[in-house]
Structure 1
Amino acid sequence: MEGFNYVNIFETKGIEYLLTLAFFAMLIPFWVYLNKPASVKEKINKVLGVLSENILKMPLGLFYSKNHTWTQLEKSGLAKVGLDDLLVHITGSTTINYNVNKGDRVKKGDLIAHIVQNEKQLSITSPISGKFESFNKTLFENPEIMNKDPYEKGWIAKIKPEDWQMETKAYLLAEDALEWAKNELSRVKDFVAVSMKKISPEPSMVVLQEGGELTENPLEHMPKEIWEDFQKEFLD
């Protein structure tokens, strides 16, 4: 036809353009896959990996309850109370809401506070009976201290004990406390495995390899219902 010129792309660099287009045609779906929001499986897999007994701290001189609190009698006669290292490694960052006022009398096992993460929370009970003397006001401004330094700056309350010797004689000390914490960590692994099954239908999600470990803060990735289950299993 007059007025038209025909060019054979195979005799020009046109083939290079086609190859380039084909490359990007394959690259774009792969890029989309890499950048899509993490799947439920990927999010839950974050809880498998690094929380091991080797990082647990159980200082000497403290009395540890099996509700994951500790207490220590000071020279002043007041008993300092806090959360144990295992619990704060499991929950991740939380804030604290107190359920008692200064001067209130509390009994061993009474609710004294909630630790909160978004809409999720755990109830913390008093390991001893006595008069509630003070909060740790530092936690209101710097709640992360409760996780970073649970035995020193991150204590949660001070109580004037009524029956210190009787109420603490069944508590754990030193090596016994550490051995219990290791066993408790094993229970947590089983709990996480069962919890995975509840929130994901994939069978592979419930398998923890022998000797497998957890990452830091496994509850951080779990919904409110799992926190409620954890409360019943480990804190009540």
Structure 2
Amino acid sequence: MQALIGLLQNIGVFLAFLAARFAVLVVVLAALTVVFLVGLGVVRLAGRVRRHALGLTKVGGLVWRPGLYYSPGHAWLQWKGTSRLRVGLDDLAQHLLARVSEVTLPAIGQVLQAGDVVATVRAGRRQALIPAPVSGQVVAINRRLLRNPSLIHNDPYARGWLYAVAPSDAGHARLPYGEPARGWFSGEAHRFSRFM
């Protein structure tokens, strides 16, 4: 009988030990979950602040950024300084190019004519040819984009830019800008939603 009581006590001590270890595990997991959720909240808040700072808004279900020129080929242009335009793809273009795997950009110094193919974006077996929205000379390319093509999806209006060009004429002035650009983009978003 004494052996049975001793065995039951040992089993009880063992179960208490397991329960204590399980409780510690639960507390540690709860603490890690809280840290993760707080970190996630901070990241989301930072993203929201960044989107607000860039002025990003939804137009027809797509993200639109004010202060840019928009071309019919779904490129945007933004003045950087007084002599160069930065060029990237708008949100509609990045939606059409799911899972970008490779980007080819022009060479610095290359002279472009509006409408010339200036870049290619590969998404799986599909390839999109990107026309130059304006004429000019390429003065910079986004080397970070070459290493990380997903920037076209993750940040199309900032870190996902393609190249910068010193325009040879004022062709950009004919492109939609401001409220006309918003109206044009809204129409394109509507066409896209009907297509999809």
Give TM class, smaller chain: 0.5 to 0.7
CA contact (8 A) 1:96 1:113 kept: no
Match of 1:185 in 2: 189
How far does residue 54 in structure 1 lie from its aligned partner after superposition? 4.7
The farther-off stretch of 84-93 and 116-125 is 84-93
Equivalent residue runs for 1:67-106 within 5 Å: 67-75=73-81, 77-98=83-104, 100-106=106-112
Root mean square deviation of aligned Cα: 1.9
SS of residue paired to 2:78: strand
CA contact (8 A) 1:63 1:168 kept: yes
- Normalized per residue, the structure richer in strand is 2
Change (3 A) 1:173 1:74: same
For 1:178 and 1:93, the matched residues in 2 are separated by 26
How far does residue 190 in structure 1 lie from its aligned partner after superposition? 3.7
For structure 1, list consecutive stretches of 5 or more residues without a partner in the other structure.
Answer: 1-51, 193-236
For 1:66 and 1:75, the matched residues in 2 are separated by 24
Equivalent residue runs for 1:141-180 within 5 Å: 141-163=147-169, 165=170, 167-180=171-184
Counterpart AA for 1:70: W
Counterpart AA for 2:155: D
TM-score by length of 2: 0.64
CA contact (8 A) 1:135 1:157 kept: yes
Change (3 A) 1:150 1:77: same
For 2:105 and 2:148, the matched residues in 1 are separated by 19
SS of residue paired to 1:72: strand
Q: Which runs of 4+ in 1 moved over 6 A?
A: none
For structure 2, list consecutive stretches of 5 or more residues without a partner in the other structure.
Answer: 1-57
TM-score by length of 1: 0.54
Change (3 A) 1:60 1:188: closer
For 1:99 and 1:172, the matched residues in 2 are separated by 24
CA contact (8 A) 1:58 1:177 kept: no
Change (3 A) 1:120 1:112: same
Greater relative contact order: 1 or 2 (C-alpha under 8 angstroms, separation 6 or more)?
1
> Percent identity over the alignment?
29
